[in-house]
Amino acid sequence: MFKTIPFQYDEELKREIDLRGYSYTTFKNYRSMLRRISDYAGKDIADVTPDEAKRFLHYMHAGLKLCPQAINVCRAAFCFFYRCVMERDLPPYALPRKKVVQKLPDILPPGRILAVFAVLPLKHRAILSLCYGSGLRISEALSVRVSDIDSENMKVFVRDGKGGAQRYSILSAYSLYTLREYFRECRPQGGFLFPKRDDPGRHLSPQFVQNRFSAAYKELFPADKDKRITIHTLRHCFATHLLDSGVDLRTIQVLLGHRSIASTCVYTQLTERHFSQLVSPLDRNGE
């Protein structure tokens, strides 16, 4: 893929992304989507019309069966490029935004998570322990530096959160032990705790870690083949298991880095403790 039509607007796109304070991840995602649109249309992205972009969005839905979130990222990429880089007018109704239906995530019991960790290589176990033990996104875990680990106060500094936001989260004793073991054995070079072997100035690819995690889980629990278990599932488990243990929603919101408490409230649908303490008005016996 991306061999037919060269993408010649890296500098312009990066400049507009930087001026608005968006993250480098946003730049990479937008560039990737723009290249896909360009290849589909068979022409330079600057020559692609909104109608051609709309046809590609429909192809993502009907042909590739991609999720609404991916389609909306592609739409946002084209709108941003068309308006901000090419400085052209684009009516808001030209490219419709696909409705996103929020589905409740699958939650794993702690025993299953630890069982998967036990069969993974040390490096992957160290990374994933941050995702579950601290509630980090995979991109956040891979961006961690040695100086971000505060073993004295048992917290980890998240320097590259969603939208460039920074925060602190808790550090588990399991993670600290695993990270120390990993550091002694691997002696990572460069600024990142988990650098690429051939380029210490960059961290590992999230997809590389995701593939190992998914393969290990499917091998251990083949009956769950229809469930969508990803590394992000560990973040959902972190929040739900904290809620099960009695931690309040506001604290969980801060640890996860959610801007709105509404994003955190979804975990009240998943916790066993929350529902077990509720009493239906039908069962109050006329109180």
User: Which residues are designated catalytic?
Assistant: 137, 162, 232, 235, 258, 267
Q: Are 29 and 73 in contact (CB under 8 A)?
A: yes
Q: How far apart are CA 211 and CA 202, in angstroms?
A: 19
Q: How many CA atoms lie within 13 A of 237 on its CB side?
A: 21
Q: Are 98 and 71 a contacting pair, CB within 8 Å? A: yes
DSSP 97-110: PPP----PPP---H
What is the phi/psi pair of residue 106, to 5°?
A: -75, 140
Distance CA 199, CA 215 (A): 26
Angle at 150 between CA 148 and CA 155, to 5 degrees: 95
